[in-house]
Structure 1
Amino acid sequence: MSDDQVAGELKKMTMFIRQEAMEKAKEIQIKADEEFAIEKSKLVREETASIDTEYEKKFKQASMSQQITRSTLANKTRLRVLSARQELLDSLFEKANDKLSETTKNKSEYEKVLKNLILEGLYALNEDRVLIRARKADKDVAEKAMDAATAEYKKNMDEETELRLDEKNSLPQDLAGGVVIVGGMGKIEINNTFEERLRLLETDALPMVRERLFGKNQNRKFYD
């Protein structure tokens, strides 16, 4: 073969090798791109799953924190409201206590009150002889109330009962008023002093007072 023919063959071989190399390189590039895409998709999925897990975790933490905060605020609000209500009730009973002594200023009205307090004790004891304890300052009005109570008791019960004012054991003068009815040979005492009646009212009537002031199911809204 001549030099020109050899050169031509070498050129053809070179072009063939180059073409093969280019095709091989292209094939490698395509495969590399496919592997890259697969790996990229895998990494994206893994990272997305990780982000979703982290987001869900933080969302649950935020939700729990929000619930705790809401519950704490609701409890604090409820306690403040209950405290304010109790302060109002305490204030009402304090004012009522301050007004107890005013009842004794009107003698005729006070006599009626004492009569009813005595009658209540008489009906409860249903005895022939009963002691009445009152303040020394109330001696006159208490005796009148006792006479009226005795008459009404006889009228209503058709029975006689003897009332005696226990002057040896008078009630303390610092009490607002009222009486103590003693029966059962001195073993039974019915405390119908103003202070005791107010205390009983505060204990027994408090639910009704709350309902009148604040309505029924007043605490339900804190839990709804």
Structure 2
Amino acid sequence: MSQPHALSDDQVTTELRKMTAFIRQEALEKAREIHLKADEEFSIEKSKLVRQETSRIDTEYAKKTKSAGMSQQITRSTLANKVRLRVLGAKQELLDGLFEDAGKGLREQGAKDAKAYEGVCKGLILEGLYALNEKKVTLRCRKKDEGVVKKAAEGARGEYKEKMGGREVEIVVDGKERLAEGSAGGLIILNTTGKIDINNTFDERLELLSVDALPSVRTTLFGENKNRKFKD
């Protein structure tokens, strides 16, 4: 059996070079694989982080947009309410002024035209006579109106008798209890017992008018439908 030949120094050197080159090549390919794998994982992780951050920013933006929208809505609503209250206040002030001026006009009416005032009082007395349907009534008025009211009472008594087929009624002007001198005028009609009264004072009539005629006044002044409430 033949013995293997021993390698020469040159052959050993050549073999070592081949092994070294092979190892180096293997190392380079492994390094490339690791580098490619690292780049791939880096790209995946970067995309994941970008998506997460983008989602966070979108969520935060949506929250801030919603908050800003609500803030603007609240601000608009607050301003609208303030404007509405100012408009309502201005309208009410105008209406109050109108009725106040009407009250002043009523207070001055008797002094300006006694004959007209007497006619008005006669109508108010007749209204009370028909409503109470009693044999005797008592009238209360301002002290300064007693003369005019007595004349009006005589006229009302005669017309009542005529309209009621000759029925008599006694009309007395109360000399003790009177309407306040600062009132607008008119009178109160009481029945025989004094327990039932009809308030036909101008102040009362104006108060009733301010309620009953208010829708029509609003429609005339502000163009508001009397069948609906005020809206902005």
Which category of TM-score, normalised to the shorter sequence, fits these structures?
0.7 to 0.9
Cα displacement (A) at 1:125: 0.9
Unmatched 5+ residue regions in structure 1? none
On the 8 A contact 2:125/2:189 being kept in 1, the answer is yes
The TM-score, its normalising length taken from structure 2, stands at 0.84
Residue matched to 2:168: 160
What SS does the corresponding residue of 1:168 show, helix, strand or coil?
coil
Aligned residue in 2 for 1:111: 118
The Cα offsets for residues 184-203 of structure 1, whole Å up to 9 and x where unpaired, read as 41112222222222222224
Matched, 1:134 2:134: no
Residue in 2 that maps onto 1:120: 127
Instruction: Find the counterpart in structure 2 of residue 8 from structure 1.
Output: 14
Comparing 96-105 with 134-143, which one deviates more in the overlay?
A: 134-143
The structural deviation recorded for 1:25 is: 1.1
- SS in structure 1 at match of 2:181: coil
The farther-off stretch of 167-176 and 103-112 is 167-176
Match of 1:171 among 170, 173, 179: 179
| Residues 78-129 of structure 1 deviation map (CA, whole Å, 9 limit, x = unaligned) | 1111111111111112211221122112122111111111122112211111
State how far apart, in whole Å, the 2-side matches of 1:153 and 1:197 are. Answer: 22
> Which residue does the alignment assign to 1:65?
71
Greater C-alpha Rg: 2
- 2: CA distance between counterparts of 1:39 and 1:57? 27
Q: CA, structure 1 residues 185+218, in 2 after alignment: closer, same or farther (shift >3 Å)?
A: closer
State the number of aligned residues. Answer: 221
TM-score, length of structure 1 as denominator length: 0.87
Question: Which amino acid is the alignment partner of residue 18 of structure 1?
Answer: R
77-86 or 170-179: bigger deviation: 170-179
Partner SS, residue 130 of structure 1: strand
RMSD: 2.2
Which ranges of 4 or more aligned residues in structure 1 deviate by more than 6 Å? none
Tell me whether 79-88 or 202-211 shows the greater mean CA deviation. 202-211
Tell me the CA shift for residue 218 of structure 1.
5.5
C-alpha separation between the residues in 2 aligned to 1:180 and 1:78?
41
1:182 aligns with 2:190: yes
> Residues 38, 96 of structure 1: CA spacing in aligned structure 2 closer, same or farther, 3 A cutoff?
same
Structure 1 residue 130, shift from structure 2 partner: 0.9
* Whole-Å separation in 2 of the counterparts to 1:17 and 1:6: 16
Supply the AA of the counterpart residue of 1:197: R
Q: Distance in 1 between matches of 2:133 and 2:174?
A: 18
Distance in 1 separating the partners of 2:200 and 2:150: 16
Structure-1 residue corresponding to 2:3: none
Distance verdict in 2 for CA 1:77–1:108, change over 3 Å? same
* Alpha-carbon shift at residue 69 of structure 1 (Å): 1.6
User: Counterpart amino acid of 1:72?
Assistant: T
- Aligned AA (1:169): E
Q: Indicate the residue corresponding to 1:40 in structure 2.
A: 46
Match of 1:169, SS state, is: coil
Consecutive unaligned residues in structure 2, runs of 5 or more: 1-6
